[in-house]
Amino acid sequence: MSFLTGTLEQGLIYGIMALGVYLSFRVLDYADLSVDGSLPLGAAICAILIYNGSNPWLATLLAIIGGAIAGVFTGFLHTRLKITPLLSGILTMTALYSVNLRVMGGNNVPLLRAETVFTVLQDIGLPEKVVSLGVPLVVVTVLVIILNYFLQTELGMAVRATGDNEQMIKAQGVDTNYTKLLGLSISNALVAFSGALVAQYQTFADVSMGIGTIIAGLASVIIGEVLIGTGSILRRLLAVVAGSVMYRLVIALVLTMGLKPTDLKLMTAFIVIIALASPSIKKKLRVGLKEGKYAQS
């Protein structure tokens, strides 16, 4: 039972990151690798602030803002300096590695017995079990509601159109540099938010905790698409979260079956490779996901 709830909690917390990856990868059609840096950035900012006595909610908020700035930086490299999406992300990710070390003043920050958003709620009398599942659940629910609303606003639709057909939305008078910058900043803000919660959940931040974030996020997005499908926006967002939970479940299962934790990244890479390569899944993805982008017209 605790195995399952623990997996669910992690799945939800990393689900926030997966929502961010969904936003850049699917909505904007932008393979943004900076998330490997912005997840630990969120963790680092949040952890060091808490370590120095800051309010955990404030620390989380500042972590989110830090992530947004990282996203703007990536967007700036791409839209203003005309660096390719892939390289822009790698540059930000690389730069963030040093930034994260500086922020933390070392390789890691321990948060044992520090005040986190989880302990704060326990202090006002909520049971530990309720808090550790409740916080991620409430956060994810609120974020899904907000994203679902945003993606159907005038501005959100312009962001979606930017990822779908940049030429078209430019011809409709939208500055696509702006929509890309906006999308990337929201995406990285979400990833940093996730990082901040991970740090508080596992009670430490580590500079290497971001390695493979993009692949884990991608695996979650793809698993969700295959399992839940791609109907309305709300359904897609829920699919991403469900995909993240499933992904963590698979990981937890193979770990109990004796796989070494150090082999996890290899396994994740395989999951994504299989998902991307399997023709039937691919077909399903094409029909569902990019509706018509490849379809005959």
Q: Which residues bind another protein (CB under 8 A)?
A: 150, 152-158, 160-161, 164-165, 167-176, 289-293, 295, 297
Is the Cβ of residue 113 or residue 154 nearer to another protein in the bound state?
A: 154
Is the Cβ of residue 150 or residue 204 nearer to another protein in the bound state?
A: 150
Is the Cβ of residue 4 or residue 168 nearer to another protein in the bound state?
A: 168
Cα separation, 113 vs 155, in Å, equals 43
Residue 277 in tokens: 């390569």
Shortest spacing between CB 90 and another protein, in angstroms = 27
| Sign of the alpha-carbon dihedral angle for 191, 236, 148, 137 | negative
Shortest spacing between CB 179 and another protein, in angstroms = 8
Is the Cβ of residue 175 or residue 263 nearer to another protein in the bound state?
A: 175
Is the Cβ of residue 115 or residue 164 nearer to another protein in the bound state?
A: 164
Residue 267 in tokens: 């396994």
Cα separation, 213 vs 216, in Å, equals 5
Shortest spacing between CB 282 and another protein, in angstroms = 17
Contact, 37 vs 93, CB < 8 A? yes
Shortest spacing between CB 249 and another protein, in angstroms = 29
Interhelix angle 85-104/56-79, rounded to 10 degrees, is 150
* CA distance to 61, 82, 160, 169, 292, per residue, from 296 (Å): 45, 32, 21, 21, 7
Shortest spacing between CB 29 and another protein, in angstroms = 10
Shortest spacing between CB 163 and another protein, in angstroms = 8
Is the Cβ of residue 66 or residue 156 nearer to another protein in the bound state?
A: 156
Shortest spacing between CB 158 and another protein, in angstroms = 5
Residue 100, C-beta contacts closer than 8 angstroms, at least 6 positions apart: 37, 40, 41, 44, 207, 210
Contact, 229 vs 288, CB < 8 A? yes
Is the Cβ of residue 262 or residue 297 nearer to another protein in the bound state?
A: 297
Nearest CA to 210 out of 36, 43, 41 is that of 36
Phi/psi region, residue 260 (left: phi>0; alpha: psi -120 to 50; beta: rest), is beta
